[in-house]
Chain A
Amino acid sequence: MAKPKVAFYWCASCGGCEEAVVDLAEDLLKVVDAVDIVLWPVALDFKRKDVEAMKDGAIAVSFINGAVRTEEQEEMVKLLRKKSGLVVAFGSCAHIGGIPGLANFWDRETIFERVYKDVPSVRNPEGIYPQQKTKVDGVELTLPEFYDTVYTLDQVINVDYYLPGCAPPPDLIMNAVTAILEGKLPDKGSVLAPDKSLCDTCPRKDSKPEKLSIKAIRRPHEVIADPEKCFLEEGIICLGPATRSGCGERCINANMPCRGCFGPTKGVRDQGAKMVSAIASILGVEDEDKVTEEEVESLVKQIDDPAGLFYMYSLPASMLRRKRMG
């Protein structure tokens, strides 16, 4: 029997997800034994035309990482969708937008202005920006369109499964690959990770007091966090309450608070809004009957860039999807 065909593709991403595949280490050999990789731009020399030449549905599964922010990425993922039986959104960016999704606080114009003109290391007095069409010696050169908005993969094509994480941990990747090969997949649309909040599996769970109350917000660079204590108890904002577990608590174990790369748990529509609720619930709870409206405001003011913090990974997947540009 022919081996199932597998494709890996990357869109707006950092390449860390490709690393995650390589991080499978010797397990990667088992995967390579069991499947036939037909596209993997970072490692193998297959081209778009090779994919185009395939029959629809010929690829068993496409693992696509990265958010969609250009015309080219949109075309490629639509092509892969047509040619694939299953599409797995691989990693935070494809799943919920990820770090590239923070660009949704700006649009093309403001991003270009910053990147090609305003940054101190750039000199561009003529204000030359990338164009979709440029004539050079009578030849027209083209670039794909750069969209105003970063999209999650499932806003562009149908996605069958989601593998969360920045990057997804090797054990979850291996579980997913095994489930696909053995045909033991859960319902379509599932996130292939446990459905518990990070706080539920946090190694510091027992240090969390019965009633949390934050008086002063501290940012991770301002203090050296106690390696045993709950971050929230120390006043360091941790997105654990609103984030799915399954990451192996990598950040917590490195003494850094959670930033939400696994996205929300099942059924939660907007991770950032949930986090607003969670943090507001524990801000200055002591003697709240004596707190004035002004004091509430100054408590809240301590949080720098709350939208960027609470939506660090999930802005494109949030209800608003992006900032409204005035």
Chain B
Amino acid sequence: MADDGAARQLDKEILSPKPGIQSPAEGGGDFQPRIVGFLCNWCSYAGADLAGVTRLKMPPSMVAIRVMCSSRVDPLFVLKAFLAGADGVLVAGCHPGDCHYQTGNYYTRRRFALTLKVLEELGLEANRVRLSWVSASEGGRFAEVVTEFTETIRKAGPNPAKTEVFL
């Protein structure tokens, strides 16, 4: 039953920014946004793959995390990504109606809308999170989404939350 303590210990680790995903801006130089992308296995991850094999150009700003379904993305994952120093978080899944599990992306859609409201209330910038639908055949769209989102984040600047002790 000691896992409450363990959870807090884990928390301490999470709360300290990871050197791995700090933006190079902290070392001087131009600000390069770092985005954590949660991509669903069946559509968006395949779409990202397609963008890669098609050799489409896009900024190297996103760290991809493959999830079996976009509805796997707990609001906590989004918070954790921000606390660990991400400048933006992208959640991408199959188009509505195309979910491999029939209704998973409907869950994602509702959950994302509610998460967004909570994040805003807690003083985090809503434009740093994005939900996009990318199918397995839309390599081009994937490259567009990443490019667009990277530009949005570049304009918004580094995530202020990561330099604050409490966040």
Q: Given A189-B4, A307-B122, are A322 and B166 also a contact pair (CB < 8 Å)?
A: yes
> Of A38-46, A172-180, A268-276, which binds chain B?
A268-276
B132 to chain A, nearest CB (A): 12
A105 to chain B, nearest CB (A): 8
A121 contacts the other chain (Cβ, under 8 Å)? no
Instruction: Find out whether the CB atom of B121 lies under 8 angstroms from the CB atom of A305.
Output: yes
Complex CA distance for A276 and B121, rounded to whole angstroms: 13
Q: Given A189-B1, A300-B113, A319-B83, are A325 and B123 also a contact pair (CB < 8 Å)?
A: yes
For chain B, residues 118 to 157, give those with C-beta under 8 angstroms from any C-beta of chain A: 118, 121-124
A187 contacts the other chain (Cβ, under 8 Å)? yes
B111 contacts the other chain (Cβ, under 8 Å)? yes
- Most chain B CB within a 10 A radius of its CB, from A276, A281, A296, A300: A276
Number of interface residues of B (CB under 8 A): 39
Choose one: A266, A276, A293, A300; the contact of B1 (CB below 8 Å).
Answer: A266
Q: Given A280-B113, A306-B118, are A269 and B1 also a contact pair (CB < 8 Å)?
A: no
Least CB separation from B112: chain A residue: A280
Mask, B51-95, CB within 8 Å of A = 1, is: 000000000000000000000001110011001000000000000
Choose one: A189, A274, A308, A321; the contact of B2 (CB below 8 Å).
Answer: A189
Instruction: Find out whether the CB atom of B117 lies under 8 angstroms from the CB atom of A303.
Output: yes
Where chain B touches its partner, the secondary structure class is helix
| Cβ contacts under 8 Å, B117 to chain A | 300-301, 303, 306-307
A297 contacts the other chain (Cβ, under 8 Å)? yes
Complex CA distance for A143 and B143, rounded to whole angstroms: 58
> Of B5-13, B20-28, B29-37, B40-48, which binds chain A?
B5-13
| Cβ contacts under 8 Å, B111 to chain A | 276-277, 280-281
| Cβ contacts under 8 Å, B18 to chain A | none
Sample (6) of A-B pairs whose CB atoms are under 8 Å apart: A189-B6, A269-B7, A270-B79, A280-B107, A306-B118, A307-B117
A residues bordering B, Cβ < 8 Å? Answer: 105, 149, 154, 162, 186-191, 195, 266-270, 272-274, 276-277, 279-281, 283-285, 288-289, 291, 293, 296-297, 299-301, 303, 305-308, 310, 319-326
Supply 17 further A-B pairs (C-beta < 8 A) apart from A267-B4, A281-B107: A187-B1, A187-B2, A188-B5, A190-B1, A191-B1, A195-B1, A279-B114, A280-B107, A280-B115, A281-B111, A283-B114, A293-B109, A296-B110, A301-B117, A306-B118, A307-B117, A319-B79
| CB-CB nearest 4 A-B residue pairs | A189-B5, A324-B123, A307-B121, A280-B111
